[in-house]
């Protein structure tokens, strides 16, 4: 993961703390989930650009650049 630093006003911090306690997860997890959801729904949504749907498709696969056809289409291009 990549570390980011943000500033929150006191009200937002209190809401974040409460949400984390209620859900039993870290404040960082709440922020990550919220940001993912926001970006999914925002103008950066893949609906505006179908290529954005490919981002993260092969996360964790070290051979994705070599075998992208398998991950995209389920078979080798050959």
Task: Answer yes or no: pTM beyond 0.85.
Answer: no
CB-based burial of residue 73 (10 Å sphere; 0-12 exposed, 13-18 middle, 19+ buried)?
Answer: exposed
Residue 19 confidence class, pLDDT cut points 50, 70, 90: very high
pLDDT at 30: 95
Average pLDDT, the chain: 82
Q: Are 16 and 9 in contact (CB under 8 A)?
A: no
Mean pLDDT, rounded, for 52-72 = 72
The more confidently predicted of residues 9 and 59 is 9
The answer, yes or no, to whether residue 45 has pLDDT greater than 70, is no
């Amino acid at each position: 993961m990549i570390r980011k630093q943000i500033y929150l006003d006191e009200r937002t911090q209190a809401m974040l703390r409460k949400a984390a306690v209620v859900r039993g997860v870290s404040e960082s997890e709440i922020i990550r989930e919220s940001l993912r959801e926001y970006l999914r729904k925002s103008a950066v949504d893949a609906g505006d650009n179908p290529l954005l749907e490919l981002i993260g498709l092969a996360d964790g696969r070290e051979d994705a650049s070599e075998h992208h056809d398998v991950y995209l289409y389920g078979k080798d291009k050959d």
